[in-house]
Every structure is written in structure tokens, then in C-alpha cells.
């Protein structure tokens, strides 16, 4: 079967990466939907699981989320008793966010679901090809993070 998409688009890494991201998001979103969660909720749970308790603004910055949008996601997660907020002991003007025990347990389940969804997404690739793809994509993301942080400072 001939390719369905224009060769001009298929030659653009940004087009390919964006389309692959949509495919991957579809798989992951379906898994999260079984828990009545969306991708930003998973990002919050994964971020707190990986980094531990964080000030709200630091969590938003690390996840690349708008700070006011983060508040809404945290409200929803807090209502489900998956996260808790308290005054940041280092700066009482700020809120610090942490996973609850239920949040930690769910984060573990969701991380496994995320791994499974990525296996489905990348089923056409060998393990070595997957490692190479992740390594190359990570380099691009890290370079962008570095460039953005240089602009801020």
C-alpha cells in the first residue's frame, strides 16, 4: 500500500513526532480514562512520584503547565484524596503539594499503564530502536529546556 500522507509532511521530523505523539496520547488517554483521569492528572501524579513533594509553582514549572491550570488539576486530585497541600515550610506564602498514600499507589499503577501504552505505540520497533528513539527525543527536549532556562535567567 502506498503511503497515504504527503511525502513533504513525512519528511518533516516535527510532523512525524507530532503525529506519533497523538497516537501515543490516544493509547495513554484511554488507559487513564478507566480511572476517570486525564493526561495532566497523570503528569501531576508522575511528577510528585518522581520528585517528591514540591511547591505548587515548582511543580507547574517542571511539568510545563500553566500555574492557574495546575490549581484546577490539584483541586480535582485533592477531592479524590490523591494529593494533599500544605504550607511550604521554606516559604509560608507558598503551597507545597505531596502525594497521599492512595496517590502513591495509583501513581504506580498508572506508570505501569503508561509503560504498557508505550509498548503498544512502539510495537513496530525493536528494543534497541526504542532506546535510540527515546534517547534522541530526550536530547531534543533537554536542549529545549536548557535554552528556555537560559532565556529566563
| Domain coordinates in residue numbering, the chain | 7-114, 122-153
Q: What is the pLDDT of residue 153?
A: 57
* Total residue count of the chain as it appears in this document: 153
CATH of domain 7-114: 1.10.10.10
pLDDT digits (tens, 9 = 90+) for 33-73: 999 999 999 999 999 999 999 999 999 999 999 999 999 99
The per-residue pLDDT for range 96-121, each reduced to its tens digit, is 999 999 999 999 999 999 999 999 99
Q: What is the pLDDT of residue 89?
A: 82
- Per-residue model confidence as pLDDT tens digits over 140-150: 999 998 998 88
Q: Is the pLDDT of residue 1 over 70?
A: no
pTM of structure? 0.86
**Contacts for 125 with CB less than 8 Å, ≥ 6 apart:** 133
What mean pLDDT do residues 2-31 have? 90
> Is the per-residue pLDDT at 152 higher than 80?
no
Roughly what angle, to the nearest 10 degrees, separates helices 67-79 and 39-51?
Answer: 90
User: According to the model, what pLDDT value does residue 145 have?
Assistant: 87
To the nearest 10 degrees (0 to 180), the angle between helices 39-51 and 13-33 is 90
**Residue 105: its pLDDT value, please?**
97
Amino acid at each position: 500500500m502506498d503511503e497515504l500522507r504527503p511525502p513533504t509532511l513525512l519528511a518533516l521530523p516535527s510532523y512525524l513526532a507530532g503525529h506519533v505523539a497523538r497516537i501515543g496520547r490516544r493509547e495513554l488517554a484511554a488507559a487513564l480514562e478507566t480511572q476517570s483521569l486525564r493526561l495532566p492528572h497523570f503528569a501531576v501524579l508522575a511528577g510528585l512520584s518522581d520528585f517528591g513533594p514540591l511547591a505548587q509553582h515548582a511543580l507547574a514549572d517542571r511539568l510545563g503547565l500553566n500555574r492557574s491550570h495546575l490549581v484546577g488539576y490539584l483541586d480535582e486530585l485533592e477531592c479524590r484524596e490523591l494529593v494533599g497541600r500544605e504550607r511550604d515550610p521554606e516559604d509560608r506564602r507558598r503551597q507545597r503539594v505531596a502525594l497521599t498514600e492512595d496517590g502513591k499507589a495509583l501513581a504506580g499503577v498508572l506508570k505501569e499503564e503508561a509503560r504498557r501504552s508505550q509498548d503498544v505505540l512502539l510495537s513496530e520497533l525493536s528494543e534497541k530502536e526504542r532506546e535510540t528513539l527515546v534517547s534522541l527525543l530526550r536530547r531534543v527536549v533537554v536542549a529545549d529546556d536548557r535554552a528556555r532556562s537560559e532565556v529566563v535567567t
